Amino acid sequence: SREAIAEGAVLLRGFAGPFEVELIADIGGIVEQAPFRHMVTPGGHQMSVAMTNCGSAGWVTDRAGYRYDGVDPESRKPWPSMRPSLHALAAQAAAEAGFAGFSPDACLINRYQPGARMSLHQDKDERDFGAPIVSVSLGLPAIFLFGGLQRSDKPRRFRLEHGDVVVWGGPARLAFHGVAPLADGDHAVLGRQRINLTFRKAR
């Protein structure tokens, strides 16, 4: 199903379902080469969400700031490549939401264990805000907080479940957003975790 949750934001419930087995295998291969790690913000706080990346660019944070880098700072090697199956899933979802021609070069992979959260923020480290961000949710359900263009705008809450895909474009591209602390649970496929992939055009 295709549901407009705001101007520019399209929720495709279950869109990733048919890709589930391949997605989980791809993530397993990526994590072997570039394990999940808890990065540090410029303010010195360790993130509760663990992250890794695939693609020619990966999102990183440390005391020096937020940025995209072609190299994994832990291994000093390039990030694992973006599998064609992952690129195709993102491009198909974007097209379904009205963004034909989306070609992501970065995929940030977030792992939430029970209690992990992401505070309200904007994604603005990418060069072209005309390109959408495609987000794929797997594993335990999460409460997603979708705010407005000002941090003070009261966020609306959406429950995102295994297989749900959201395309964030247009005026939603720069909205403040976050994820409430993950409730404990046991997902039939992924166990006690939520994994979110965000496909981005970084460069």
**Which chain residues interact with ligand MD5 by CB under 6 A?**
108, 110, 118, 123, 133, 135, 146, 168, 172-173, 175, 177, 179, 196, 198
Binding partner of 102, given Fe ion, ligand MD5, none, CB within 5-8 angstroms per partner class: none
Q: How many residues bind Fe ion (CB under 5 A)?
A: 1
CB of 77 to Fe ion, least distance (A): 25
∠ Cα 89 105 8 (to 5°) = 60
Cβ–Cβ < 8 Å for 2, 94: no
Residue 105 binds Fe ion, judged by CB under 5 A: no
Q: Which residues contact 21 (CB under 8 A, 6 or more apart)?
A: none
Judged by beta carbon, residue 162 or residue 173, the one nearer ligand MD5 is 173
Judged by beta carbon, residue 19 or residue 146, the one nearer ligand MD5 is 146
Closest CA to 135 of 102, 171, 182, 183: 102
Beta bridge partners of 146: 156, 177
Q: How far is CA 163 from CA 23, 105, 138, 154, in A?
A: 10, 22, 6, 27
Binding partner of 168, given Fe ion, ligand MD5, none, CB within 5-8 angstroms per partner class: ligand MD5
Among 26, 72, 105, 123, the residue binding Fe ion under the rule CB under 5 A is 123
CB-hemisphere CA count at 13 Å for 162? 19
Judged by beta carbon, residue 110 or residue 193, the one nearer ligand MD5 is 110
**Which stretch, 66-74, 83-91, 101-109, 119-127, contacts Fe ion (CB under 5 A)?**
119-127
CB atoms within 10 A of CB 50: 20
**Which stretch, 23-31, 85-93, 118-126, 156-164, contacts Fe ion (CB under 5 A)?**
118-126
* Placement of tokens 């979708």 in the chain: 146
Residues that bind Fe ion (CB under 5 A): 123
